[in-house]
Amino acid sequence: MAGRSAAVAGWVLWVVVQVVNDDPFPPEISESQYGLGGTGWLFSVWVLVLAGCPLLLLRSRPVPGPARVLLMVGFAGAVVMALVRTDLGAGPMSWHAKVHMFGAVLALVFLPLGILSALRCARRRWFRLAEGIVAAGLLVGGLILLAAIGLDDAGLGPARSWAFWQGILLVLEMLLVSLYAVVIKTVEPGSVRAGSGTPVKSALR
């Protein structure tokens, strides 16, 4: 129950940080700018709730494989992202902005990998849907890199294009977390995927 509530809270807080910063999606510079100023704590809460949701779900539905480790690494990155602020505006990055970006990369890479690993033991259609979301995330990640080197690949100017695709990537991340929260009950604890794709009881049990 707590895990699913966290997934819902993640969407609510995503809207709240946009409202209190008067910067609706897509943001002017980046989602991380929501963490600046007197209301920056809301950004931190949002990041921690979103990243903590998959771990809360694992408490009631343990899964085999590296899912737990991957999710823990992703959550550690989210903690860094939530506690260490980025810079105000564009320009040369400070040391703390680089630390913030490092945490964001860990969260945005390892959380999807952890969820995908956990959903290997879910029903095939949910696993395929998760694969599709992760594949879309990889495509968007490439567009972020293109915008980072100065290509206006969203038609908004290089800086806003970078912010736009970063925002899209975070939305995909929230969709993946929400999918996991919805289908967690179809994940068979201690199961492995057979050649046919059907979850079966592990031979170790």
pTM assigned to the model:
0.84
Give me the sign of the Cα torsion angle 59, 61, 65, 71. negative
Q: Beta partners for 199?
A: 193
* Average pLDDT of the chain to the nearest whole number: 83
Instruction: List, in sequence order, every beta strand (DSSP E) within 17-141.
Output: none
Are the C-beta atoms of residues 81 and 108 closer than 8 Å to each other? no
Residue 203 — pLDDT band, cuts 50, 70, 90?
A: very low
Q: How far apart are CA 202 and CA 82, in angstroms?
A: 38
Q: How far apart are CA 180 and CA 70, in angstroms?
A: 15
Digit-coded pLDDT (tens) for 68-99: 899 999 999 999 999 998 887 666 678 888 89
